Structure formats: structure tokens, C-alpha cells
């Protein structure tokens, strides 16, 4: 069947640039051919062999086959039908896979030719670009967020208060002046809704952009005979794409070449069983599916909206506007405070009504207001209106309408800064959770190390080899053969005519290939031509080895090569080669020598791999090759050890400091690696995960198999002590995460492989490596570390704590304002029957705190102090701590005392009229909040000015706040009901407010429990 699929059908050569007079004739002929082809296909449909996927057959778009004459031999409709319907008969009609490649003008070995500037553009014009247009989420415009803001209970209460205030104000003071209070509330609500809607709209767009960025997968293709990495969006029909384990298939296409390829099609079919792909029976690959085993090359036949995945995604809309746990908690807090404020307002109404109807209130002339039946109805109504307006104002004081908005500002700002620090947040809640992390389970390769591997040692038998000239020719050929063929990597020329070779594949593969080419003079392409590959077992993270069986074309002999973790390959060997090429039996003593060699290289922080070989005797060929399940096709026992390869991967600069920073922050760093226990211990010691003087028997280092074989009780008892897990499988990693979570830890886990997906999902914070991470791992993660560095993980930890800390600062500032204003208004209303803060003035103070104040504290960046504190548990520790309550109550008490003294001073202290006094009260209150912002920068430290000189934006916001307050006082006198103040009065207000700073310093000397 494979030979039939590769049959080449003669094709019609159509000139790329025909004369203009023939274009009309060509279009007519082509249209007739296309119509005939469609009719003919419909007749053959019942006879065709088709395996349709369970996808809706009615697309949500129209495919237009408007294409240049260069691809006249095949159209998009046919290409889509071949793959989507798994139609082998239709594929045969076009001469098999090679016939389709010819029709697409693709060289299967060298890929498409991009020598012409217009070649890629021509293919995009003919077959479309590889972009998927998802149906946009319904009503996600700015208007949508305005409507959402109106659903907030707090704002609805404000609107009700605004309507009541407007009606009562006009009733009492007339239309000209009575609309001020009610109208100002409407304006304030409009501002809050506008700011909230704009911020949420921008945040939504920002995460959509981040989502687009996360979908920009780099794919390896071959073009002009050279392998190169391009964006998934740049793939065109006719491209030859390389696929390995963990890759997402980037487009629909056909299997060209490869081994042991299995894909997960559950995203399309909902079937959990993996599908084998081969050239004989099922060469069809679908966009969006995942490679779970093997490797291959595919020919792209459909891209973008013409793919099965594109059709499916066009019917799906995504909602990324998910509320974080902390935002939900703050919404509840806001609602609770609002309800408490309304309850207080109700009690004030009752108290004022009792005072009024018992004759204990006086009017402006000093006369008793209620005198029984003698009281006029208009006077009684006006009094009722005033009492209710007072209660409404008190209720407004307790509504922290800007608190959730302030949190949104913090999260949005932090996400942007984390992106600049090489961390892309996929789930907003991860920003908060990361600050509570108590342990980080990290990979070694690429995270703690540079992932720049180089072969530094080679042992042939029991001898260390520095020069390949000492190796016998036959053995040298076996080494070259095993390295060149038992690999998923390759080498290629950087440019045409260049002598410089470049290597592709995993870092380990590239290191071995580079060493073999440079030190052993390996000719990879020649070796491939001289052998026929029979079976391949691709490298798998659980087995930690890869194998291949080949037939030599020169003498028709069959050879098996294995490569993998040294101790695993060693266990499969019963003999070994020496430098002369002779094989020697391996007894227990010699096996111990090899184990000591492996341990010695591992102790030098080298990753140790082994190469092994076996020639299959002629009488065993039929029995061992081609019979049985795929995993048993390659001989696994009685191998001959060829050699041991030591690969050095240096630690990243700065990783030791990053680990120490995490440890000083109370976060345990655990290394989970596939390397053997000696390499793992050496690297962990170098990175300071382990101390240099750490006891070898203190249970801090364990192998994955040992941990796996513990009972559940033993695992729970020992898991806190384990800092390094060597020779671990993805299942061992998942098991450790589950145990740590059961012990009460908040766990962050790094991962990059497809098999890491369960651990990334199970962890509280999944951290995927952006460079080495597979698409399956990225989709399972919460945050993508763009540079793969552990130092970036430590930075993310700092930002997580900073988010939490900044939210606490804003809550402290906001509650101080609420408590002070609520107590002042209640006391003044009950005792003096007149409140110092009108609705408009309160909203002005709140607007300063909710926007400018929140912004000033939201831009605070992580400090060293945050990384010296233990993690905060969101589940067991309150967001508002005892330290915060201490700061809130003392500052609120100071403001209450000062404002009430000014309120009840009459003319005895200030010597000014009532309007100037009210203006000074407003001015003093606003300035107190300004200086209290400075106090809020440090919740515990006495020196609140530390690092403030570096934050120019903070200074700018403070300056803007003071300027706006001056405008309100000096210029908006009519609207704000204020009076101009003299220089002396401004200095007096400023002096009273500045005292907040020394009071803040003194109060932090008072010890209180942390929780």
C-alpha cells in the first residue's frame, strides 16, 4: 500500500506567467474541469473508502478556491476532503502522498522553495494563512463592561441614594442649588463606572493579546533544504513540518516519514485511545492533536480555517474574564461593609427621628423644631428630608465602591510587569496564589542549568578515551551508526554552500551529534543511506532510553542500538567492547567498575548516557524482528556496552542566589530530575538546594522508584524531608505534588514535557518553561516562564507577594477613611444635627482614594523585605491582619479627634465663619489621606520613605492629588460648596495632616500579634 501511495501521477505543467490573452481561456477551461471534478466525486462517494471524523459537516464559513494558476492541479476543496474524510481512494487518485506533494510543488526532502519573494505569499493567496478566526465572545465591547458595572450592588445603592438626594435637595433648596448633592453623586457614579469599565475592557484586551502570544508556537520546518524554526502562523500549504513527542500538530496534513508516531485526537473525537499514524493505513494528521510518541515529518495540506480544528474553533467563543479568588473575597468584603454602613445609617435615622419628635432639635434660629400639632407640614417634611439625607450620606460613607476596582488596577499592572520580567500569566489567580507558595518543585535541565550541553568525557569499556584514533575502525563505525541513526535530531548546513553545520533536536541530542561529527568524523547522511531502518522506539521520559533496529545494505546484517540513562542501559548489557573492538563478558566485578565510573562522572555534575549494541543472528531475524507488539520489536537484553558519555550542563548564573532568596522567604526548593542520584546530588549542592555538608543519609535525596514504593503513610512522613528526587518519572512527580498538598503546602511546579501536564494541573501553580515546554505542558500551566530560568521563578514569587501586599495597603488606606468618616458623621449627626461631610465632599475624598490613592500604591514593586517574610496562607490567615488593624484604628482615631474638634470648635479656635471651617475640615481630611498614603507604603517598617525616591510616579500622584484639592477649594467653590483659604489656613491644614507621619512611626512601636 505504501508503494501505491507514493505513485507519481503525471501532472500538467501550467506556465507561471501566461500571456494575458490566454488567461480568460484558462479560467474557462479550469472552471469546467472543477465542475466536472465535483460531479465526478459525488458519483464516486458511495464507493470511496472514507473514515469521517465526528465533526459537524456544515461549516460556519465559505471556502473560496480563488487561486493562482501555479497550483492548478489541485484545489483546497480536494485537499480538505482527502484529510478530513480520511479518504485513501481520493488520495490514490492524485498519485498518493508524493503526487499531492508534486501538485503542491513541494520537494519532500528539501521542502518548499522560498527563493522567490512571492512564493509564500502565493501559497497564502491560494490556500489561506494559518490563522484561526474564533467567534468573538458575545458583547465583550466597552458597553458590555459598562452594563456589568451597573450590576454591582454597591453602585445600585449609590444610584438610589443619588435619586433620593437629588429629590430632597431640590425640595429643600430649589432647582438652582438643590441638584448639587444628587447630581454630584450621579457624576461620581458615572466616573466610577467609566473608570471600572475602561480598566476591565483594557484588561480583557490585554489578556486576549497575551493569549494570542501564547498561541504563537514555534514550529520546525524544512525550506530550501534547511531546517528552520518559524511561527505557526507562517506555515503554508506544502510545508514539510517536523513533529516530535509533545508537539501540537500545527495544521492538517499527511504523514511523510517517521517512526512509532502516535497522536492524541481526543480534542476532536473525545476518544482517549491514541491513534497510530503510518503511511500504510492512516497517514492523516489533524491540526490541534498532540504527538504522544515517536517522531515524523508531515506534508501540510490545509491551514487555518480550512483545517478540522479551525472549523471546530470557529464555533467556540472563549470567556477569559474570570474573577480571581481575592477579587471575589473583596467583593464580599465590600458588600459586608456596605450593609454595615446601611445598618448604622438606619440606626441614625431612628435616633434623629426620636430626637426630632421628642423636641430635642432646634432650627437655624435656635427655636424648637417639633412643637406637636403646631408644627407646619412643610417644616416637618423639610426636617424629614434633611434627616433622611443625613442618613443617606452616612450610608454612602461605608460603601467602598472602588475597592474591587483598585484590585483590578493592581493585577493589571503586575501582569504587565511580570511579562517584562519573563513571566507570562495565563491565569490571573496565579498572581495571588504564587505569593502564598510554600514549596517549589523544579526541574534541573534548563531551569537550574543553562541547557547548553557539551560532551566532556567518553569511556570506551573501562578506558577513558580522548582521541578517536585509538578506537578500532569497526567499533568506531558502530558508534557512529548508533549515534547517527538512534536519534530524533539531525544536522544540516546553515546556508547553501556553507561548511558550518547546525544541529536540531533536544539539547542532549544536539550535544551528542555535535561531538560525534566533530570528534568522531561522523557523516550522518551517508550512514542513513547505507542502512534501512526496521523499527524505532523513540525516547520516552518514563523509560529514559531509545532504541532502533536497522539492516545494513552492505552485508544485509541486522543491528540493534540502544541509548539512554547509563545505569538503565548497563542493566541491559551482558558484555562490553574494549578499544580494540573485542567483546568481553561482564561479570559482577566489572559491572561494579562501570557503576563506579558512572558515579564518578555524576559526582562531577555530568549527565551520564550509555551506548549499547547487539547484532541479531540470521536464525533469529524472523523471530525477533517484525513479530509481536511494537514495544517488543527491538531486542532489549544481552547487549554489549559500547561506551559511556559524560555531558556537562553548567548551572545558570545567579541560580544559587535565586534559590537562597526563596529559602530565606520560607519557600522550600525541591529538585525533581531524571538524572541519577549522584548527578542530582552534585547539581543540587552546586545550586545550594542541598548544603555542602549535608548528610548523605538524611533522607533529603531519594530515587523516584524508592519514593513510589513507599506506603502512603511512609510518603506522608518523609515527603517534607525530601529535597531532591532523582531518576524520577512524571508519575513520581505527580505523586510528590499530591503528598505535599495533602501536607498543607501551596505547591508550585515547573514542567516542560507532555507527561508533566498532570503535575502542572495538580499543583496550585503550574509553571511551564517557555523555550523547552511542549504545547501540552503550556496549556496545562498557569504561568509560562519565558526564559526557562529559575531566577525568573523567584521573581514571580516576589511579584505574587507584592500583589498581596499592595492589596493590603489599599485596604488599610480605604478602611481608615471609611471608619473615620463614618464615626465623624454619626457623632456629628446625633449630637450636633449637622454633618461635616456632605455627599459631594465624601465622594471627592473617596474618588481620590479609589483612583489616585490606589494607583499610587498599586505601582509599588517587590522589595527585599517581602522575600524575608514567611509565606502567607490565604486559607488560614486573614487578609486584614492585627498589624493592619493597629494602623487603621490609630490613624482613624487621630482623624476623628481632629475633625470633631474642628467641627465643634465654633469660633473659639479657628475664628472663622462656618463655610471656611467646613472647607478647612474637607482640606484637612484630604491632606490626611495623602500623608496616610505614605504611611501605607510600609505596613510594618517605621521608615516609610525607604525606596520612595526611586518611585517617581508615586511622587507625581501625590503632587496631582494636592493640585486637584487646591482646584476644588480655590476654584470650584460654587459646585463644591467651599471657600477660599488663606496661606495661613493652608499651612494649618497641612500641619495637622503631616502629623499623620510621626503618629504612624509611633504606632508601629506598639507590638501586636501577627495574626
H runs (alpha helix) in 285-444:
308-313, 325-357, 377-397, 403-420, 429-434
Distance of CA 994 to the CA centre of its chain: 43
The answer to whether 686 and 656 are in contact (CB under 8 A) is: yes
Name the 3-class secondary structure at 721: coil
| Cell numbers representing residue 430 in the block | 496565579
What are the phi and psi torsion angles at 726 (to 5°)? -100, 160
**Ranges assigned E (strand) in 407-524:** 423-425, 439-442, 454-460, 463-464, 490-493, 501-504
CA atoms within 13 A of residue 45's CA, in its CB half-sphere:
10
Instruction: For residue 851, give the DSSP letter.
Output: I
Instruction: For residue 520, give the DSSP letter.
Output: S
Which residue reads 474524510 in cell numbers?
A: 85
Helix H or strand E encompassing 125 = helix 119-127
Phi-psi region of 638 (alpha: psi -120 to 50; beta: other; left: phi over 0): left
Provide DSSP, 694-710.
Answer: --TTSSSEEEHHHHHHS
Name the 3-class secondary structure at 206: helix
Residues labelled as active-site residues: 443
Cα gap 688→579, rounded to integer Å: 39
Provide DSSP, 10-43.
Answer: P-----SS--HHHHHHHHHHHHHHHHHHHHHHHH
914-936 and 996-1003 are packed helices; what angle lies between their axes, rounded to 10 degrees?
40
Instruction: For residue 7, give the DSSP letter.
Output: P
790-832 and 377-397 are packed helices; what angle lies between their axes, rounded to 10 degrees?
160
| Cell numbers representing residue 666 in the block | 520560607
Cα gap 439→748, rounded to integer Å: 6
What are the phi and psi torsion angles at 622 (to 5°)? -65, -35
Provide DSSP, 791-807.
Answer: HHHHHHHHHHHHHHHHH
Instruction: For residue 625, give the DSSP letter.
Output: S
The answer to whether 435 and 800 are in contact (CB under 8 A) is: yes
Amino acid at each position: 500500500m505504501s508503494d501505491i501511495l507514493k505513485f507519481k501521477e503525471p501532472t500538467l505543467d501550467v506556465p507561471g506567467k501566461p500571456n494575458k490573452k490566454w488567461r480568460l481561456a484558462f479560467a474557462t477551461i479550469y472552471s469546467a474541469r472543477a465542475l466536472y471534478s465535483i460531479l465526478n466525486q459525488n458519483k464516486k462517494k458511495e464507493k470511496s473508502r472514507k473514515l469521517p471524523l465526528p465533526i459537524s459537516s456544515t461549516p460556519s464559513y465559505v471556502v473560496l478556491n480563488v487561486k493562482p494558476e501555479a497550483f492548478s492541479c489541485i484545489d483546497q476543496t480536494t485537499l480538505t476532503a482527502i484529510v478530513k474524510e480520511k479518504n485513501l481512494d481520493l488520495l490514490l487518485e492524485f498519485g498518493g502522498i508524493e503526487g499531492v506533494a508534486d501538485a503542491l510543488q513541494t520537494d519532500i526532502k528539501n521542502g518548499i522553495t522560498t527563493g522567490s519573494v512571492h512564493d509564500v505569499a502565493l501559497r497564502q493567496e491560494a490556500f489561506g494563512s494559518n490563522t484561526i478566526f474564533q467567534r468573538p465572545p458575545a458583547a465583550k465591547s466597552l458597553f458590555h463592561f459598562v452594563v456589568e458595572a451597573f450590576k454591582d450592588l454597591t453602585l445600585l445603592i449609590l444610584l438610589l441614594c443619588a435619586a433620593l438626594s437629588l429629590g430632597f435637595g431640590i425640595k429643600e433648596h430649589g432647582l438652582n442649588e438643590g441638584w448639587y448633592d444628587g447630581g454630584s453623586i450621579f457624576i461620581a457614579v458615572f466616573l466610577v463606572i467609566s473608570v471600572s469599565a475602561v480598566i476591565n475592557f483594557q484588561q480583557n484586551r490585554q489578556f486576549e493579546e497575551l493569549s494570542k502570544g501564547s498561541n504563537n508556537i514555534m514550529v520546525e520546518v524544512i525550506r530550501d533544504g534547511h531546517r528552520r524554526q518559524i511561527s505557526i502562523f507562517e506555515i503554508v500549504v506544502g510545508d514539510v513540518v517536523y513533529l516530535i513527542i509533545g508537539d501540537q500538530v500545527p495544521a492538517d496534513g499527511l504523514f511523510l516519514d517517521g517512526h512509532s508516531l502516535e497522536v492524541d485526537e481526543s480534542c476532536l473525537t473525545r476518544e482517549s485511545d491514541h491513534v497510530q499514524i503510518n503511511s500504510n493505513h492512516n497517514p492523516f494528521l489533524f491540526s490541534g492533536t498532540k504527538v504522544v510518541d515517536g517522531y515524523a515529518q508531515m506534508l501540510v495540506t490545509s491551514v487555518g480555517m480550512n483545517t478540522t480544528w479551525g472549523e471546530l474553533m470557529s464555533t467556540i467563543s472563549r470567556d477569559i474574564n474570570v474573577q480571581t479568588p481575592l477579587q471575589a473575597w473583596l467583593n464580599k468584603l465590600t458588600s459586608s461593609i456596605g450593609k454595615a454602613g446601611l445598618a448604622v445609617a438606619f440606626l441614625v435615622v431612628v435616633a434623629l427621628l426620636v430626637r426630632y419628635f421628642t423636641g430635642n432639635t432646634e432650627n437655624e434660629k435656635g427655636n424648637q423644631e417639633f412643637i406637636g400639632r403646631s408644627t407646619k407640614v412643610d417644616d416637618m417634611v423639610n426636617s424629614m428630608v434633611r434627616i433622611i439625607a443625613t442618613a443617606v450620606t452616612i450610608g454612602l460613607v461605608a460603601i467602598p465602591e472602588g475597592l474591587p476596582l483598585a484590585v483590578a488596577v493592581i493585577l493589571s499592572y503586575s501582569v504587565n510587569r511580570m511579562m517584562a520580567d519573563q513571566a507570562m500569566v495565563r491565569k490571573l489567580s496565579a498572581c495571588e496564589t504564587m505569593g502564598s507558595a510554600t514549596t517549589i518543585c523544579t526541574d534541573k535541565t534548563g531551569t537550574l542549568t543553562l541547557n547548553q550541553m557539551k560532551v566532556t568525557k567518553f569511556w570506551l569499556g573501562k578506558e577513558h578515551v580522548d582521541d578517536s584514533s585509538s578506537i578500532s575502525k569497526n567499533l568506531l563505525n558502530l558508534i557512529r551508526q548508533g549515534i547517527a541513526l538512534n536519534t530524533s535530531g539531525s544536522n544540516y548546513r546553515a546556508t547553501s554552500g556553507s561548511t558550518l553545520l547546525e544541529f536540531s533536536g533536544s539539547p542532549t541530542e544536539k550535544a551528542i551529534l555535535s561531538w560525534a561529527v566533530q570528534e568522531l568524523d561522523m557523516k550522518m547522511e551517508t550512514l542513513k543511506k547505507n542502512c534501512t531502518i526496521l523499527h524505532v522506539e523513540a525516547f520516552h521520559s518514563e523509560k529514559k532510553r531509545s532504541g532502533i533496529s536497522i539492516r545494513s545494505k552492505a552485508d544485509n546484517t541486522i543491528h540493534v542500538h540502544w541509548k539512554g540513562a547509563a545505569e538503565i542501559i548497563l542493566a541491559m548489557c551482558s558484555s562490553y567492547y574494549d578499544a580494540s573492538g573485542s567483546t568481553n563478558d561482564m561479570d559482577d566485578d566489572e559491572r561494579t567498575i562501570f557503576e563506579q565510573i558512572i558515579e564518578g562522572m555524576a559526582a562531577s555534575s555530568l549527565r551520564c548516557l550509555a551506548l549499547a549494541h547487539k547484532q541479531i543472528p540470521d536464525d533469529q531475524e524472523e523471530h525477533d524482528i517484525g513479530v509481536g507488539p511494537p514495544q517488543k520489536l527491538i531486542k532489549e537484553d544481552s547487549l554489549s556496552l559500547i561506551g559511556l558519555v559524560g555531558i556537562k550542563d553548567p548551572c545558570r548564573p545567579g541560580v544559587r542566589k535565586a534559590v537562597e532568596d526563596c529559602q530565606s522567604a520560607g519557600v522550600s526548593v525541591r529538585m525533581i530530575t531524571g538524572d541519577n542520584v549522584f548527578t542530582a546530588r552534585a547539581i543540587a549542592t552546586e545550586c545550594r538546594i542541598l548544603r555542602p555538608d549535608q548528610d548523605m543519609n538524611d533522607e533529603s535525596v531519594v530515587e523516584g522508584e524508592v519514593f513510589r514504593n513507599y506506603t502512603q503513610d511512609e510518603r506522608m512522613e518523609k515527603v517534607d524531608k525530601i529535597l531532591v528526587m532523582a531518576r524520577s518519572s512524571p508519575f513520581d512527580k505527580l505523586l510528590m505534588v499530591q503528598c505535599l498538598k495533602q501536607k498543607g503546602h501551596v505547591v508550585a511546579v515547573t514542567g516542560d514535557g507532555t507527561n508533566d501536564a498532570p503535575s502542572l494541573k495538580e499543583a496550585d501553580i503550574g509553571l511551564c518553561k517557555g523555550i523547552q515546554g511542549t504545547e501540552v505542558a503550556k496549556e496545562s500551566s498557569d504561568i509560562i516562564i519565558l526564559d526557562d530560568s529559575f531566577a525568573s521563578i523567584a521573581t514571580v514569587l516576589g511579584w505574587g507577594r507584592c500583589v498581596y501586599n499592595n492589596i493590603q495597603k489599599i485596604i488599610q488606606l480605604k478602611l481608615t477613611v471609611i471608619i473615620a468618616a463614618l464615626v465623624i458623621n454619626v457623632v456629628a449627626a446625633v449630637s450636633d444635627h449637622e454633618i461635616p461631610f456632605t455627599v459631594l465632599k465624601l465622594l471627592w475624598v473617596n474618588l481620590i482614594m479609589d483612583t489616585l490613592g490606589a494607583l499610587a500604591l498599586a505601582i509599588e514593586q517587590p522589595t527585599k523585605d517581602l522575600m524575608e517574610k514567611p509565606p502567607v496562607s490565604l486559607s488560614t490567615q486573614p487578609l486584614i491582619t492585627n498589624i493592619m488593624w493597629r494602623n487603621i484604628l490609630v490613624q482613624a482615631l487621630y482623624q476623628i479627634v481632629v475633625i470633631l474638634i474642628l467641627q465643634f470648635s465654633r469660633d473659639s479656635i479657628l475664628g472663622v465663619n462656618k463655610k471656611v471651617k467646613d472647607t478647612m475640615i474637607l482640606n484637612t481630611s484630604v491632606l490626611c489621606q495623602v500623608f496616610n498614603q505614605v504611611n501605607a507604603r510600609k505596613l510594618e517598617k517605621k521608615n516609610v520613605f525607604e525606596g520612595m525616591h526611586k518611585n517617581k510616579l508615586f511622587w507625581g500622584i501625590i503632587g496631582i492629588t494636592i493640585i486637584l484639592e487646591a482646584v476644588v477649594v480655590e476654584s470650584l467653590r460654587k459646585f463644591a460648596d467651599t471657600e477660599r483659604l488663606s496661606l495661613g489656613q493652608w499651612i494649618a491644614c497641612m500641619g495637622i495632616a503631616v502629623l499623620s507621619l510621626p503618629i504612624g512611626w509611633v504606632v508601629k512601636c506598639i507590638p501586636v500579634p501577627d495574626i
